[in-house]
Amino acid sequence: MAAAVTAALVCLGTAGCGAFGGDGDEDGKPRAKDGDHSAASSPASPSARGGKKPADEPLRGKVIVVDPGHNPHNRDQPGKISRSVDIGTGKKECDTTGTATNSGYAEADFTLDLAHRVRTQLRERGATVRFTHDGDEPYGPCVDERAEKGNQAQADAAISLHADGAHAGSRGFHVILPASVHEGAADTRDIVTPSRRFGTDLRDAFHAATGEQPANYLGDGNGLDTRGDLGGLNLSKVPKVFLECGNMRDPRDVAHLTSAKWREKAARGVTDGITAFLAAGKGKP
Ligand SMILES: [Zn+2]
């Protein structure tokens, strides 16, 4: 459909979403609110929690910020999302449209759907989950705001969900880790190490849950990519990674990304990765 085609073109023109290097699109930062911090300060009795035992809720007391990459409405606001924001190392666009499959399934719709599934599963394990947005804003938020939302929440972990837009034949998922950056408003020195542990746990759990292989088109094939050009990571003060779930331009990956059943598996992988990271007490630096 025309809108989708336009969105894809905008994305390609902005160096984001895809292609090698990942999702240039940026994004990510957290924020939002939802929740119930009460659990952190006053553990409820098993009866008050519906009979759940602590072992059933390994994430009780933890705050997770989930950033659904892009926003389905970004395509309607090209002027607003193209304005520059400061990411410490320079300027970057507020946000991008994200990529899309050739048949028009938008990355922004994919990330929102996956985020909802992740939220449901995280809450079942006792976590407080906050979104950076829920597709209910006219555009954005901008990448610096997405990072700030995780910071404001003092999240134990923040994750930005994406799908890539590389060439057909480029397949698989990867996790983007923050590089050590100390410039302007960006200072990731304290989050580099915990973010790497988080990303490694996430990679392992995502692979186990989905059976997907690490991306065959970047890095050394270990599913981890380190970048210093994403505002969503540069400006984060809490452990944070991006997850590129697959390539929306590769037919085999698309068959998975467009499957609700697969997305449920993907959500379990994300949830398991977060649980592995935080349950081991590896969270805040
Ligand atoms: Zn993206």
Instruction: Give the CATH number, domain containing residue 155.
Output: 3.40.630.40
C-alpha 162 to ligand 1 mean position (Å): 4
Q: Looking at the domain assignment, is residue 174 inside a domain?
A: yes
- Report the distance separating Cα 231 and Cα 142, nearest Å: 9
Determine, yes or no, domain membership for 66: yes
Question: Which is catalytic among the residues 93, 107, 244, 264?
Answer: 244
Q: How many domains does the chain have?
A: 1
How far, in Å, from the CA of 17 to the mean position of ligand 1?
Answer: 4
> What does the alpha-carbon distance between residue 260 and residue 110 come to, in Å, rounded to a whole number?
10
Q: Is 244 a catalytic residue?
A: yes
Region at 137 (left for phi over 0; alpha for psi -120 to 50; beta for the rest): beta
Task: Kindly give the distance from the C-alpha atom of residue 194 to the centroid of ligand 1, in angstroms, as a whole number.
Answer: 23
Residue 51 lies in a domain: no
Neighbours of 51 (CB within 10 A): 9
Does any domain span residue 48? no
In a domain, 50, yes or no: no
Contact status, residue 35 vs residue 59, Cβ threshold 8 Å:
no
Q: Is residue 163 part of a domain?
A: yes
208: tokens are 């186990």
Taking 70 as the pLDDT cut, the residues of the chain under it are 1-51, 280-285
* Parent domain of 153: 2-16+24-39+58-279
Q: Are 72 and 83 in contact (CB under 8 A)?
A: no
| Distance from the alpha carbon of residue 190 to the mean position of ligand 1, in angstroms | 25
Q: Are 277 and 175 in contact (CB under 8 A)?
A: no
In this prediction, residue 146 carries a pLDDT of 98
The answer to whether residue 47 is domain-embedded is no
Q: What pLDDT digit, counting tens, does each position of 47-62 carry?
A: 455 667 778 899 999 9
Q: Nearest 5°: CA angle at 238, between 64 and 53?
A: 35
* pTM of the full structure: 0.84
Is 147 within the bounds of a domain? yes
3-state secondary structure of 4: helix
